Structure 1
Amino acid sequence: MPANPAQLLANAPEYTVSELSSALKRTVENAYGHVRVRGEISGFRGPHGSGHCYFALKDESAKIEAVIWKGVHGRMRFKPQEGLEVIATGKLTTYPGSSKYQIVIEALEPAGIGALMALMEERKKKLAAEGLFDEARKQLLPWLPEVIGVVTSPTGAVIRDILHRLEDRFPRRVLVWPVRVQGEGSAEQIAAAIDGFNALPEGGHVPRPDLLIVARGGGSLEDLWSFNEEIVVRAAASSMIPLISAVGHETDVTLIDFAADKRAPTPTAAAEMAVPVRTELFVEVSGFAARAIVAWRRGHDDRRTELRSAARALPGAGELLAIPRQKLDGVAAALPRVLRASTHLHHRRFTEISRGLTLRVLRAQVAHAKQSVAATGARLAHGTQVVLRHRRDRFVGLAIRLKASRLANAQAQRDRIARANERTQRLAERTRRALATLLQRHEARITYSGQLLAAFSYRGVLARGFALVRDDAGQALRSASAVGPGARLTLEFTDGRVAATADDDQSAATSSAPTGSNPRGRPKPASGKRAAKAADQGSLF
């Protein structure tokens, strides 16, 4: 009769749900590790409140859950978007909370040129809707900038082309901000360079550029993708310094071209837009100087002619001063008479004022002043008493209010302390209950572990009638070939250990095993001294 499967698995080890989930997690991670998965993003609703991103990758017949941690999402060059086909690189793992497997994405890239073009068009519409590409935001380029800032790679041919073109047309001071123009982190470096030039103070140790040129040589769409990043476009649009974009060749179009104040088809063309031709300026300035000298001479001659005509029309100096001279003579003749009349008038006024300044009048004025001072002092004393009484009444009222407030505050503090004591007692009781529950769980787990250890221990096998054979070094012996003649052995039973010595007659033992005279396969006892020794020490077999 076949055994019950439940009875066959009775000795199988038991797993908790957490242990089984951890074992599955290790199996999946060890079997697959890092993988690259191509699929379409589904269910992406933007970063979670914690900053992590949760969505799924799917194709026509399957779907896998995906997660991007907050720190990785912040460093990503391409951000996940709904419906975008991507190639994700990450580590395959499981999520025990819902018994599902997922991929933890560490890198994300679009799957092919079509996906890049779709992402670029979508980003272009989004930024255009915000008004970053409006012509009203464009700034006029300075006619002759003193300092030009260039954002590009310091080792490429672009910076040499720009410097050579500026040297040929009109040498200007150039500040180069070295950046990476492709690859991981290049977009952040380009945006930081534009913001860094704008952050330079006017009149500082490092001069602030009057014009910026963001340049790069030609390349594929993937190579130029850093200039399509949102962070670069926003930095170019918010630049207070006029900016020229010179990315790629004439046929290459990036999003920074729409946000820049001017687009140049090549870096060399950007240098030509930045400054005029010095020789042409010299010729033009020389022409202006010659025309200015001719115009000045003509105007000087015209003013000399006008001055001569005006001088002929002016009267003589004697005619202009005749009437003022007559007026001066009349006033000088009347001056002595006027002085005598003014003297008599002031003398009469002084005499009239001196008659009123008698001793009685002065005494009356002094007495009136003393009465005014006395009345003022009485009013001041009365006012002082009134103010003191009001202040005293106010201080009494404030003392009463302060005493009531102190009592109320003390009562409130006592109530607060009582509530804190009650809360502390409740928390202590909850802590004691939680500690008791935790101890019970640990005791149960220790009991279970002890039972499992006893089930797997070899002493259970000894209890069923078996014995463990060890050599004189204490090592367990697993075969008869490992026992030499005369070897000292130790037999361990369930109730103790017995010392023994191995017999050297192994051939007799093996030959007598098939015979029927000794069905248990034990050798016959030897005669003489060997038999006596075996009787004393017991037989291995």
Structure 2
Amino acid sequence: MPPSQPTAMPPSAEAAGNAPEWSVGDLAAALKRTLEDSFGHVRLRGEISGFRGQHSSGHAYFSLKDGAARIDAVIWRGTFNRLRQRPEEGLEVVATGKITTFAGKSSYQIVVESLEPAGIGAWMALLERTKQALAAEGLFAAERKRPIPYLPGIVGVVTSPTGAVIRDILHRLADRFPRPVLVWPVRVQGEGAAAEIAAAIRGFNAIEPGGALPRPDVLIVARGGGSIEDLWAFNEEIVVRAAAESRIPLISAIGHETDTTLIDLAADRRAPTPTGAAEMAVPVRAELLAAIDDLARRQRSAVLRRLDRERGDLRKLLRAMPGPDALLAGKRQRLDLAEARLMPALAANARGDRERLARLGDRLARRAPGVLLAGARGDLKAIDGRPERALRALLARRADGLDALGRRLVVARATTLSRAEATAARARDRLAALDGRLSAAEARLLERRRDRIERAARLLGSLSYRAVLARGFALVRDADGVPVRRAERLAAAQAISLEFADGLVQARTGPTSETTAEAAPPRRATRKRRSAAPDPAPEAAEAPPETPAAAQGRLF
């Protein structure tokens, strides 16, 4: 084909043909690279807006704004869990992160990596909110605080191992009263410091008494001075709760005397400085020794004075006490008199015993055992056969008595049996008579009850309105089922029901006039006795006269 000839093009078309053609994704990627290269990590100050908590994915989305503009912000889930300061609606913060774009919305945003309150006012507002929330739970109540032991055996210290604080505490303890010290090293500022401090307090409390590692009797949580941002770890809720839950008495020594943190309110004692905390933990050893020496001196003086007083009282008593000779003179005289009476008394006693022994020998000689035994043998021979004969006679009498008693029992048994049979016969006859009388009385009672029931049934039939209906009358009820006794209660075209003896009929009243109602003479129902069948209620009263309304209703 021959080459085409060039044609003239408009200026706008020529410019469009020279510009490169981008896809949407390429343009978005190029803008993202340009923005991230120009703005790497930035620190952005603004007020948090639109924060509604973490998304279900764990990420957090909100905006940072000031008086002129706003920018979207996002905190990924892993970063959010590591934040020292959690985002809150309306809080002015300084966010550190990188600027990037989100191609799905054609917008730019900041990916936050760290967050901190902006300015002292924001820190203090956050501190006040946390303080009020924890105070409402009673963590700062005075009744929860425990006394500090006077002389602890072990002192536990939670602080940084490299700062001047631990050296000041150890030096002060050595000056006042050297005590073993357990140091739990922690970071006292920066990210993760609050978690380490809380873990140290709970770790000391977890030590079992009497274990391999001694448990401290008092804890000191200390840090040197600094700004409110430097001391913020001791305002964290996790640290305050750990201090309030500590079973070991706790002394807080955070910053200088003018610095106040929330752990100071939850601790059992607050020291103005770490050195002051060491002074609160232990007394001065020299003062204790001086006090002990003074007490020992006073004790020795009191003992000496007591001994002197007792010694003087003893001398007075010795002077008033009689001598040994005076005390023993009466006793000696009584002993001499007793000795003089003893020998005659012994001789008289011996004579009386000899005389009594002689009388007993004479009586034994007169009534020797052999003589008594010979007399007893003679008496036994004299009564040789008499007991046996008396026993046989007694047995014979007892046998005769038993035979007579047996005969009497036989006669009495026969008599008793005959009497019992006669009594049983009489009882049977009486029972038969009573049975006959009871049957007759029962028949008469049933007959009387049957007659009463029949009379009541007849009376009920005569009084029932159905007997009246059987004689040709009808019962008129209104739409509510209430019986109508007077015609004036009915209105024209009112629905009524007529009950006859054989069923119920629905009707409606027609137009009536007073002249018609007055002209209709009342008719009295007459009883007609049927020849084929007897009257169903012979004792029923005469039916009432029929009203005009009843007559009119019956016509319908």
Q: TM-score normalised to the size of structure 2? A: 0.49
Aligned length: 303
Change (3 A) 1:286 1:11: closer
Change (3 A) 1:136 1:18: farther
Looking at structure 1, the residues matched to 177 and 40 of structure 2 have their Cα atoms a distance apart, in angstroms, of 59
Superposition deviation, residue 138 in structure 1: 1.4
Superposition deviation, residue 206 in structure 1: 1.8
Change (3 A) 1:8 1:125: same
Given candidates 260, 274, 284, the residue that maps to 1:267 is 274
Given candidates 218, 223, 227, the residue that maps to 1:220 is 227
- Corresponding position of 1:56: 63
Kindly provide the amino acid, as one letter, of the partner of residue 275 in structure 1. V
- Corresponding position of 1:136: 143
- Corresponding position of 2:97: 90
Looking at structure 1, the residues matched to 277 and 20 of structure 2 have their Cα atoms a distance apart, in angstroms, of 78
Q: Does 1:168 align with 2:175?
A: yes
Given candidates 6, 10, 14, the residue that maps to 1:2 is 10
Kindly provide the amino acid, as one letter, of the partner of residue 194 in structure 1. I
Superposition deviation, residue 102 in structure 1: 1.0
Looking at structure 2, the residues matched to 35 and 44 of structure 1 have their Cα atoms a distance apart, in angstroms, of 21
Kindly provide the amino acid, as one letter, of the partner of residue 237 in structure 2. E
Residues 475-490 of structure 1: pairs in structure 2 closer than 5 A = none
- Corresponding position of 1:362: none
- Corresponding position of 2:195: 188
Given candidates 118, 136, 145, the residue that maps to 2:125 is 118
- Corresponding position of 2:245: 238
Superposition deviation, residue 4 in structure 1: 7.8
Residues 367-516 of structure 1: pairs in structure 2 closer than 5 A = none
Superposition deviation, residue 229 in structure 1: 2.0
- Corresponding position of 1:416: none
Give aligned-pair identity as a percent. Answer: 67
Q: Which moved more, 1:3-12 or 1:50-59?
A: 3-12
Kindly provide the amino acid, as one letter, of the partner of residue 212 in structure 2. H
Superposition deviation, residue 266 in structure 1: 1.1
Kindly provide the amino acid, as one letter, of the partner of residue 89 in structure 1. T
Change (3 A) 1:272 1:12: closer
Looking at structure 1, the residues matched to 252 and 149 of structure 2 have their Cα atoms a distance apart, in angstroms, of 15
Q: Secondary structure at the match of 1:57?
A: strand
- Corresponding position of 2:406: none
- Corresponding position of 1:499: none
Looking at structure 1, the residues matched to 125 and 191 of structure 2 have their Cα atoms a distance apart, in angstroms, of 21
**What's the CA shift string for 1:200-254, capped at 9, x where partnerless?**
2222222111111011122222222221222222221222211100111111111
Looking at structure 1, the residues matched to 37 and 171 of structure 2 have their Cα atoms a distance apart, in angstroms, of 57
Superposition deviation, residue 46 in structure 1: 2.6
- Corresponding position of 1:520: none
Kindly provide the amino acid, as one letter, of the partner of residue 105 in structure 1. V
Looking at structure 2, the residues matched to 243 and 83 of structure 1 have their Cα atoms a distance apart, in angstroms, of 36
Kindly provide the amino acid, as one letter, of the partner of residue 10 in structure 2. P
Change (3 A) 1:279 1:34: closer
Looking at structure 2, the residues matched to 143 and 49 of structure 1 have their Cα atoms a distance apart, in angstroms, of 53
Kindly provide the amino acid, as one letter, of the partner of residue 121 in structure 2. G
- Corresponding position of 2:516: none
Kindly provide the amino acid, as one letter, of the partner of residue 120 in structure 1. L
Change (3 A) 1:132 1:50: farther
Q: Secondary structure at the match of 1:35?
A: strand
Q: Secondary structure at the match of 1:245?
A: strand
- Corresponding position of 2:81: 74
**What's the CA shift string for 1:58-106, capped at 9, x where partnerless?**
0012111111112212222222222121111111112233332211001
Change (3 A) 1:240 1:10: same
Q: Secondary structure at the match of 1:250?
A: coil
Looking at structure 1, the residues matched to 20 and 180 of structure 2 have their Cα atoms a distance apart, in angstroms, of 82
- Corresponding position of 1:202: 209
Change (3 A) 1:291 1:7: closer
Change (3 A) 1:4 1:248: closer
Superposition deviation, residue 19 in structure 1: 4.6
Q: Secondary structure at the match of 2:67?
A: coil
- Corresponding position of 2:107: 100
Superposition deviation, residue 8 in structure 1: 5.2
Looking at structure 2, the residues matched to 158 and 3 of structure 1 have their Cα atoms a distance apart, in angstroms, of 79
- Corresponding position of 1:407: none
Q: Secondary structure at the match of 1:29?
A: helix
Q: Secondary structure at the match of 1:61?
A: coil
Change (3 A) 1:182 1:8: closer
- 5+ residue gaps, structure 1: 306-541
Change (3 A) 1:282 1:12: closer
Looking at structure 1, the residues matched to 58 and 248 of structure 2 have their Cα atoms a distance apart, in angstroms, of 34
Given candidates 127, 149, 152, the residue that maps to 2:159 is 152
Kindly provide the amino acid, as one letter, of the partner of residue 196 in structure 1. G
Q: TM-score normalised to the size of structure 1? A: 0.51
- Corresponding position of 1:34: 41
Looking at structure 1, the residues matched to 172 and 37 of structure 2 have their Cα atoms a distance apart, in angstroms, of 58
Looking at structure 2, the residues matched to 169 and 3 of structure 1 have their Cα atoms a distance apart, in angstroms, of 95
Q: Does 1:178 align with 2:185?
A: yes
- Taking only aligned residues, the RMSD between alpha carbons, in angstroms, comes to 3.4
Q: Does 1:43 align with 2:50?
A: yes
